[in-house]
Amino acid sequence: MAKYVYPAIFTPEESGLIAVRFPDVSGCYTSGENLLDAIEMAQDALALMLSGFENDCHPIPPATPVKQLEADANSFITLIVCNTDGYSMTDEQSVSTEKAR
């Protein structure tokens, strides 16, 4: 288990939620009701996904440098830090992670 830093793209939605996606981690998406909630949800989603990769001995994808990413005018990019220590997945969650890949 380890600590990771990945860029995330935050996009406000018409519904008022803030959508978050990780360009380097396929299938890793979440959202939050406000910026703080979106950041916390992003940390959790990233840690769960990468923990699944670790548990399945799946290679951890490299993080793209922020300067190499682009966001549209309504979005912004920031780095998200997560720690996979303490994240253990159930068999059901592991199956969901496998399907997302």
Residue 88: what pLDDT? Answer: 66
Helix (H) or strand (E) holding 54: helix 35-55
Q: To the nearest whole percent, how much of the chain has pLDDT over 70?
A: 85
At residue 3, what are phi and psi to the nearest 5 degrees?
A: -100, 145
State the residue range of the domain holding 90: 3-100
Which has the minimum average pLDDT: 1-5, 55-59, 84-88, 93-97?
Answer: 93-97
Question: What domain count does the chain have?
Answer: 1
* pTM for this model (two decimals): 0.83
Residue 91: what pLDDT? Answer: 46
Q: Judge whether residue 90 has pLDDT over 90.
A: no
User: Taking the mean position of all CA atoms in its chain, how far away is CA 39?
Assistant: 10
Tens-place pLDDT, residues 34-76: 999 999 999 999 999 999 999 999 999 999 999 999 999 999 9
Residue 33: what pLDDT? Answer: 98
Residue 86: what pLDDT? Answer: 81
Could you give the C-alpha distances from 42 to 57, 66, 79, 84, in angstroms and in order?
Answer: 22, 16, 10, 13
The CATH number given to whatever domain includes residue 86 is: 3.30.160.250
